[in-house]
Structure 1
Amino acid sequence: MHRLIRKLRPRLLSWLRRSRSGQILFMKRFPYKDIKRATDGFETIMYTNSHIAAYKARFHDGGVVLIKEIRDYDQGKDVFYREVQLLGCLHHRHLLALRGFSTGHRRFLVFDNIERGSLKEHLNDPIRTPLNWRTRLQIAIGVVAALEYLLLFNEPPMYHVSINSSSIMLDENFNAKLSDVGLQSSGESYVTVPHTSCPKDCMGQECGNIMFQLGVLILELITGQSSENGGADLVQWIRESRFCSSIHKMLDPDLGSSYDSRELKSLLAVAKLCVRCGDKPKASMQQILRYLRKKIEIPRD
């Protein structure tokens, strides 16, 4: 299977380039007043960083969506439109779909349904029903599948992606949706610029950062603990030589005894591999996905 994908990849990428080189993708443009009304005056922040503020919003049709304000982005409109078109061409079950955008004195991206909110809300909010073990496994595999798509089946690969419980949204069926992809802040390399230093199987420095984030996310799913400060406490725990003897202390109490110990060990093995990879990952995202699907019985996408 691995050899077959390598053989077909150039043809798939060639088809993607042809499909993206045509007319500008039709994307709805939202007036600023509609953005402000839908966010209730930018009231509910889902997550924020130096170049993005993401808000929960509801339009008149009743659907709950995610609206991201792009900050610290000094590029002209043409560059912004190209980036929007690139994001609009991304189609995967575990990526939050782009619905439209807004430009002017402030720039916004409008994404699809986030009916169940963020993963962080479900892990940290005591009012919400805890996520069961099967759902957590489904989320982990969904995130890895999305990363495989971004890194292997896009030209250039999408290396700018943030993976944490705040930026992963859940749909009505608890399918994970990556929401923080593309559109770099100023001063960083843009998503449209190919990274020639990283091989196609993604084993370079950019992928090492993504792998580390994935490892921390998996630890969040297992422990139910927040990854504040980059998940330093979680990373320190799994890097310890005798972490296996303390698994029962770190496991999320909300799981009770409903988890499968063999699946837990497989998930921990992936997390440990990811957080220890440094700038030179020892496995590709495709290999990790194949390993998880072999070890864990979850229906495939």
Structure 2
Amino acid sequence: MTATAERRGAREQGRLGRTPWVLVVPAACGLAFLVLPLAGLLVRAPWSTLPRRLAEPQVLEALRLSLVTASAATLVCLVLGVPLAWVLARVSFPGRRLVRALVTIPLVLPPVVGGVALLLVLGRRGLIGQWLEAAFGVTLPFTTAGVVVAEAFVAMPFLVISVEGALRAADPRYEEAAATLGASRWTIFRRVTLPLVAPGIVAGAVLCWARALGEFGATITFAGNFPGRTQTMPLAVYLALETEPEAAIVLSLVLLAVSVAILASLRDRWVGGA
């Protein structure tokens, strides 16, 4: 019986091991479609003048602003997104599926539409923006703070989805044991839940930061493109492409390097298993 099963398994493995060229050819074309543009970027890069161009004030300013705003947006997402993910994963309430769907809308919403929506709500004549300006003198559109808001809006779903998945995968018996020992809900969350889902939080924060760093549509719509104030790296690439293509290539290389670093840091969680 065992020998028969082994022979059957060997035959099935042999059939599966044959290369289905009808799938390999389009797969190779798909890989080339994704890789060739990146290869073209590397080939056309001005390597001889790269250090000098990276040291140009406008490049350094755009890079500094991108790093600051992406980090601030990630902090906002952590403060708001981790509790939101916990509520979605641990609390049963009417309309939870609807709330989860609303959280993921920025993933599929065109970023420009997100920027328009932010203007309608947080603009000077927006639903909340006019109140913020009248009561506190706070104006968000076309400011550095507006860049942070736009980036957090489009990046938060990455964090919420990652943390919620980690919470659902975590063993609830540890939290139950802490509760039976008299720990409060806040103590359980701080001392038990957070350490359990820390890898998911880190992965979500990294993805959130990378998404914020590369945001373009919502940023240019809600915050504009003002050098030194709202011009992040993607906006600088867009502007440089019209006037100085080599500078656009240099900025693109920086963003490409960041993307590769993000994938490398998350390879065990997202692209491992090979």
The normalised TM-score by structure 1 is: 0.23
Kindly indicate whether structure 1 or structure 2 has the higher relative contact order, using CA contacts under 8 Å at least 6 residues apart: 2
Report the structure, 1 or 2, having the larger strand content.
1
Q: Which has the larger radius of gyration?
A: 2
The normalised TM-score by structure 2 is: 0.25
